[in-house]
Structure 1
């Protein structure tokens, strides 16, 4: 635009300088140039407005783009937060499953332990009601005599010590004779021999009478030939048996760590 104005000025100066041009001619010659200059200036102004408008649009687009980026960033942040929350929820669910599995295992173990305990208790109660022989001793007597000898007392000492170390026990005492004499007398003699053993246990070891059963059986169950002297000696006897609950007997047999 500046170049066109300079050209118009130059033409005007040239015409004025020659002195041969008339004002009409000058006006006629300059008018088209001025029109073109004016048109160019109008176009330039329109272009400036267009550029300014486009610049405003660009700025608005930039602002829209910035807002869009902010929204995207916010969306990304929320998405990340959602992912983290989902991971945390998954971890909590895994922990809950693990805790549930642990609780179930504990319950199963407790049930097994209880069942085993009930089974052991049942066996114990059953065993406490069933007795087995733990020890037996045979005490020999002289002919027509119911007094205890030293050998007999020594045998009873060992049995009594074992019995009194337990909470529950029964001592079974059976008196016998050889075939010498009549049956009634032998029954009475065998009873006196059984009573002598029971009296020794209660007096020397404080064995409760309720823990003792005794019976004189006379010549009922000979263990040897009564026709011989040695056989009759073996038949003049008191058999003493210590009975204890089966559970106690098994525990004593198993020993520590095997019960």
Structure 2
């Protein structure tokens, strides 16, 4: 009996100590576990926040790139629009300049027609052609060069171009051939010397108005021609044509 009592007391002491240890552990470890769990929860939340922030940044970057592309495209379109507007303004300016030039040329032509009596012969030459030919020779081009050069120094002038043929062949064919010859002369004056078209008056007369009434080779050669006459209303030319005849000039004209 006396032995059992100490053992029981020792057992109760151990049991009480065990309960105290569990309580201590529970009171010490559980708060730590809770804190760890809280930290883990916060860490997960921070991770989610970081992931969301990264997604937001990627989205913002995508929007920024799209906005930049639109801005670049807008700049490109604006540049193209400015370029087209500039081209349109240049074309409008050219058209206006041409319109003004045409108006001026038309005015000069009307003035020419209105004052034909003021125009006097300032130069004249005959451009000869081979049989059934309409091609200009070197000698013919030299004559045209001289006439065009003289005309370029005049302010008010026009050039009459009249094509002719000899009497051989039909009237219709000769009319076409005379026009071809006159065309060659006009094209040369315009292309080589820049003579304005409105200053040129052209006609093909076929075998009409022969320069030589004969029927031989010499007469035919003389009739295959284009006469080019420069008329001018410049005061200097009019003065030359209206100057009184002196004995010296009279003898020269004989």
> Shorter-chain TM-score: which interval?
0.3 to 0.5
TM-score, normalization by structure 2: 0.48
TM-score, normalization by structure 1: 0.47
Tell which structure's C-alpha radius of gyration is larger: 1
